[in-house]
Amino acid sequence: MTFEIKGVSKTYTSKKHGEKIYALQDINLTIETGKFVCFVGPSGCGKTTLLRLMEGFENPDEGTITDNGVLVTEPSSERGFIFQDYSLFPWLNVLDNVTFGLDIAGKPEEENKERAYKYLEAVGLKDFANKYPHELSGGMKQRVAIIRSIINDSKSLLMDEPFSALDVQTKHKLEEQLVNNWRGNDRTIIFVTHDVEEAAFLSDEIVVFSRRPGRIKKVFENNLPRPRDRSTYEFQDFVNEITKHIDESEDD
């Protein structure tokens, strides 16, 4: 198994009133190697907090998180992380940003470029390969950051609403690229989203959180056949079932 989360709670202190705020309370979850898992739930329910704890950016107040049996206390190169906002190296052009991790890992340069061009072409950025971040729009920068993380060879990939600012067409292309890349690797992906259709399209499992303090309300197994078609009744029924549980979480 990749991640084992046991009895995890996390609190913050309000800057305004100094009171303790529970972001997460008694989270217990196992995520097996190679699974694609999506976190969904009401705004402020702790989805991103748990993702950050799993990466090691922060530590829980109670409980433990292990990655392949190793206690998570700090970030690791074994885990890639994609933030909501883009994070590119301003001194590198688009192609070099995308291949940075592969180059550092000592992968063949020509092979790295070939892989990068394939992904850039899929999202309409092949002609921008020699441009620098300051020459790109915000959406373009985010696409580059996402592609860079997707093609790297980290064992786990933790993604915090990476597609939320993109137009629907580009978003769907990147979702397909992500799934194709994931299916070709023994990689675990944990993906935070507010978009239930996105979760249904991507995941093997969907974890529904209650409103704050965040608890796990239900874990759905996603047995929809791949490749998935958003237009089918089966797909929409599954989306509606998940949405119902999220709506109930907001009313709790």
Same domain, 47 and 103: no
**Residue 8 phi/psi, 5° resolution?**
-80, 130
Chain-centre distance for alpha carbon 17: 32
For residue 168, give the CATH number of its domain.
3.40.50.300
Q: How confident is the model at residue 232 (pLDDT cuts 50, 70, 90)?
A: very high
Q: Which of 121, 137, 153 is the last residue of a domain?
A: 153
Residue 194 is which amino acid? H
Same domain, 17 and 123: no
Beta strand ranges found along the chain (DSSP E) = 3-13, 20-31, 36-40, 62-67, 70-71, 79-82, 156-160, 188-192, 205-209, 216-221
**Which DSSP helix (H) or strand (E) runs through 132?**
none
Residue with tokens 């180059």: 103
The per-residue pLDDT for range 111-163, each reduced to its tens digit, is 999 989 988 988 889 999 999 999 998 888 888 988 888 888 788 999 999 88
Amino acid 117: pLDDT: 93
DSSP state of 163: T
Amino acid 22: pLDDT: 86
| Structural domain count, the chain | 2
Same domain, 99 and 173: no
pTM above 0.85?
A: yes
Same domain, 108 and 223: no
Q: How confident is the model at residue 242 (pLDDT cuts 50, 70, 90)?
A: very high
Q: Which two tokens stand for residue 40?
A: 């969904």
What is the distance in angstroms between the CA of the first residue and the CA of the last residue of the chain? 32
Same domain, 175 and 116: no
Q: Which residues pair with 64 in a beta bridge?
A: 6
Same domain, 216 and 246: yes
Same domain, 60 and 182: yes
Same domain, 161 and 229: yes
Same domain, 137 and 71: no
Average pLDDT over residues 191-214: 95
Domain that holds residue 60: 3-78+155-251
Residue 89 is which amino acid? F
Same domain, 142 and 35: no
Average pLDDT over residues 76-105: 86
Amino acid 11: pLDDT: 92
Same domain, 134 and 182: no
Return the minimum-mean-pLDDT range out of 62-71, 102-111, 238-247: 102-111
Q: Which of 153, 171, 203 is the last residue of a domain?
A: 153
Average pLDDT over residues 57-71: 95
Q: Which of 124, 153, 182 is the last residue of a domain?
A: 153
